[in-house]
Structure 1
């Protein structure tokens, strides 16, 4: 297969669902902006060089429906010849899009592609607008449809992840994110225009635009303070709003090109996708997915946990992230894991997360002068996904 190189990877800030700065900004505007920005930030690349765009989205309906992959291509101002598709692997949708976009280049079906991710949880809520579980199947397999919070409680209780440890983990995520924000370390963020509708004196509304520069959900806290929050999924549980990921709006985009096209256009490679793996697990403890996906992708690549310089493991819940870290034997490498915080502080915009974490992983590899990075997450329905990127 041909080598496929990443030449750009960027993201918007992540903003809180309904209460955040993107709560009046349509998802099409977020994704088309970051797609256009990715091209503009890539020296010697023009929109007409793109062959195909694949966008990951967990709930591709409503404002995110009607093949957002193609709509965003046109809204970004790309030529008619640039095709677009939408892919859904729930929480790994953005990573799946990057893997598929890379594969198209590797097998010679395209020369330049884009893998992206999008989710506006303000406009399309978790579960979608009209969830319709199968009536018979849901009776025999209810775990396929239960709240992700319940699966996090299952992990905590089955594998003895204490409330105290979850809150410590969450507070540490917030502290790392705040420090990174205050020191300008989120270099993968592109300041993004947002919309708000302001009521006028005549009771009409005027559409105004402003710029969002930072993730708006970071809230510095202590383990003791988080310990005062009540459990939200079980009266006797340990999973709270404080040690769970934030529901978030955001978008991210990564551009991939063949070596031949890089040489022809003078594009500068920054990384390449080494390997990608997905795997299934029990639906009622879906959070353990990275525990199985990371060893699988390492085996595919012929690498070990000791070879990885940066881990971006999605913090869907502190219980599952901490359990996976412990069982993988990488707790000794906490200085390599989510070094600028994770989803507890920065948000989990579902279908965007894999693309968002890719941009963060590559930025962090550059910061620490590392070679290999892993992006991994658990996936609703009982799965895990993991990708290894090599900085070049």
Structure 2
């Protein structure tokens, strides 16, 4: 997502007229590393470990988030199941035809999976089922200046209204979107209740739940086509993926309202305590 905001900034400053921005990730093809004594997986080392804090796995930060915000196992599992249901419904209706392959899941198995980062006896609540799956993916958007649009005679899908970055303590990275989204909305001159749809990356089910709670967002407006828990979290791709999905959601909202502009906001957290948020208007 940062690539997209940098692209928008380049156009805004007059450095470019057309920019393609996005991300690609192959978690399945990530190499193993060796320090001469042991071998470690590159995905875990580079993408899923707190590089600035105590070198803990991100899942332990999710457990910290659950304890801090009193979000229990059942609430996380219910959210995860809902993410799968929404993704499946969106797929069957053709909304995600260009985004994902068909999925099947058994929610009875989901509820019996053990915690993977902290023991159940120790209060662990984060499991493989309410965490996003490892995934490969790629997505991109094309940003064009207004002058270039007119010169090309092209009709835009949406307009970027504003964006923002925010940072917090590395251990609280899961809730950084709750800091970035209000800043982005302020810069876009949009009130929270004026947003028709939100995409908040499901780094973990508990992360999405915590941000929704902190922001006071209507749950029905969030991740309407499912999120990373169901679709997978291809790290470097996820920011552009959730914006792509948001544009699809706004398209459906535009049709539901019978035309007229609709506004959406997307935010994603990142290891180290940062977040990027963007606000767009579907034209």
TM range (shorter): 0.7 to 0.9
- Partner in structure 1 of residue 72 of structure 2: 162
Deviation at 1:262, TM superposition (A): 1.0
Given candidates 243, 249, 264, the residue that maps to 1:364 is 249
Q: By how many angstroms is 1:154 displaced?
A: 0.3
2:229 is aligned to 344
Per the alignment, residue 391 of structure 1 pairs with: 282
Residues 138-182 of structure 1 deviation map (CA, whole Å, 9 limit, x = unaligned) = 8xx643x32110100000112110100000000000011111111
Contact 2:91/2:97, CA 8 A, preserved across alignment: no
Correspondence list, 1:121-160, <5 A:
121-124=27-30, 128=42, 131=45, 142-143=53-54, 145-160=55-70
- In structure 2, what is the equivalent of residue 232 of structure 1? 116
| Alignment RMSD | 2.0
2:62 and 2:207 in contact (8 A); partners too: yes
Contact 2:174 2:273 in 1 (8 A): yes
Equivalent of 2:15 in 70, 89, 109: 109
- Deviation string 1:284-303 (CA, Å, 9 cap, x unpaired) is 12101111111111122222
- Classify 1:299/1:179 alpha carbon distance in 2 versus 1 (closer, same or farther; 3 Å): same
Q: CA deviation at 1:215?
A: 3.0
Which of the residues 290, 298, 323 maps onto 2:210?
323
Q: How does 1:186-201 map to 2 (within 5 A)?
A: 186=96, 188-189=98-99
Task: State the 1:130 CA deviation.
Answer: 9.9
Structure 1 match to 2:190: 303
- Runs of at least 5 residues in structure 2 that lack an aligned partner in the other structure: 33-40, 255-260
Q: Which residue of 1 aligns with 2:166?
A: 279
1:1-392 alignment to 2 at 5 Å?
Answer: 95-124=1-30, 128=42, 131=45, 142-143=53-54, 145-186=55-96, 188-189=98-99, 214-215=100-101, 218-222=103-107, 225-235=109-119, 236=122, 237-330=124-217, 333-369=218-254, 371-392=262-283
Contact residue 112 and residue 257 of structure 1 kept, 8 A:
yes
**Cα distance in 1 between the residues matched to 2:168 and 2:190:** 23
Measure how far apart 1:310 and its partner are.
1.1
| TM-score, structure 2 as length reference | 0.87
Determine helix, strand or coil for the equivalent of 1:362.
helix
Unaligned runs of 5+ in 1: 1-94, 133-137, 190-213
> How many residues get paired?
262
Shift of 1:379: 0.9
Contact 2:180 2:275 in 1 (8 A): yes
Deviation at 1:352, TM superposition (A): 0.5
TM-score by length of 1: 0.64
Contact 1:187-1:363 within 8 A present in 2 as well: no
Contact 1:188–1:363 (CA under 8 A) maintained in structure 2: no
Whichever of the two has the greater Rg, that structure is 1
**Following the alignment from structure 2 to structure 1, what is the Cα–Cα distance between the partners of residues 95 and 275?**
28
Q: Secondary structure at the match of 2:28?
A: coil
Instruction: Note the C-alpha offset of 1:238.
Output: 0.4
Displacement of 1:125? 6.1
**2:163/2:185 contact within 8 Å kept:** no
- By how many angstroms is 1:128 displaced? 3.1
In 1: Cα distance, 2:210 partner to 2:45 partner: 30
